[in-house]
Amino acid sequence: MNSSGLFITGTDTGVGKTAVTTALLALLRARGVDAVPMKPIQTGCLKRGGEVVAPDLDHCLRSIRFTPTVAEAEWMCPYRFVPACSPHLAARIARRPIQLRRIRAAFRQLAARHDFVLVEGAGGVLVPLDERRTMVDLMRTLGLPVLVVARPGLGTLNHTLLTLAALRAAGLTIAGVVVVATERGRRGRIERDNLASIARLGRVPVLGRLPFIAAKKDFRATAERFSRDWKLQPPVFPTLGRTRVTLAQALANARA
């Protein structure tokens, strides 16, 4: 297992992987860990002034006020596609095959320069990268422990347990699960039982949760509500730094 980073995947598209990545980045950096993001494959990119911008990576970098060098920016997102579709289709449209060895080389460059690299996947574990390989093949190539982001509501048990089964079948180390509310509403009996059932049936720790956040600008204001839930313990997470801060404080420090 590679201890210099973490791969963040989800049970689906739009489950909150970028929000979790941003939260982890802020917390780790506030604890003295030089943590940086990586989004190896981004579809749905935006064109700005002749540049192709990866929105998920851009959000993470702006949130922690980190400006990478030109080389680091390329390593952080080697594959940027404008069509908002599956990576395999976006790569086919662009006539630019996704090469796992290139992503691995980019990760190694970042890991050599920083303490910890948070790698955010695209979609779920079985999203195709080409006609033969899926996202799980990228995870195996990098050899990182995997954090699963899941929804809390009805249907999440099947999605989350299938995701965990696929990761185990690939021989990957599962760091745990973070549950993110993607809709408004209070947690009820179903949501509470789902968290307990994921931990019991999935045989994984539920490391924390994120409440529903209507807009990115509200992230900082709602962070205090769940920051005490995070369980960032070794061996998955680094032990550098001794400062104990809440997520809200971490984000405030990053934006000061």
The whole domain housing 150 covers 5-255
Distances (CA, A) of 242 to 29, 30, 31, 117: 11, 10, 6, 19
Q: pTM to 2 decimals?
A: 0.87
Q: What phi, psi does 203 have (nearest 5°)?
A: 55, 45
Sign, CA dihedral 49-54-56-57, equals: negative
CATH (domain of 93): 3.40.50.300
Distances (CA, A) of 156 to 77, 121, 162, 168, 194: 29, 19, 10, 18, 7
Q: Write down the mean pLDDT value for the chain.
A: 85
55 Cβ neighbours under 8 A, 6+ residues apart: 42, 44, 45, 46
C-alpha Rg value of the chain to the nearest Å = 17
DSSP state of 225: T
Number of domains in the chain: 1
Q: What phi, psi does 4 have (nearest 5°)?
A: -95, 15
The pLDDT confidence band at residue 217, using thresholds 50, 70 and 90, is: low
Q: What angle do CA 141, 52, 60 make, to 5 degrees?
A: 65
Per-residue pLDDT tens for 3-26?
589 999 999 988 889 888 888 888
Residue 250 has pLDDT above 50, yes or no: no
Catalytic residue numbers? 39
Q: What phi, psi does 126 have (nearest 5°)?
A: -105, 20
Residue 71 has pLDDT above 70, yes or no: yes
Q: Report the range of poorest mean pLDDT among 58-62, 95-99, 167-171, 208-212.
A: 208-212
Specify the pairing of strand 46-48 against strand 51-53: antiparallel
Of residues 109 and 20, more confidence is placed in: 109
Name the token pair of 30. 């506030």
- 234 preceded by a cis bond (ω within 30 of 0): no
- Predicted local confidence at residue 81, as pLDDT: 95
Residue 252 has pLDDT above 90, yes or no: no
Name the token pair of 142. 């990098």
Longest Cα pair distance anywhere in the chain, in angstroms? 50
Answer yes or no: are the C-beta atoms of 119 and 142 closer than 8 Å.
yes
- Predicted local confidence at residue 219, as pLDDT: 60
Residue 213 has pLDDT above 70, yes or no: no
Q: Is 228 helix (H, G, I), strand (E, B) or coil?
A: helix
- 211 preceded by a cis bond (ω within 30 of 0): no
Residue 105 has pLDDT above 80, yes or no: yes
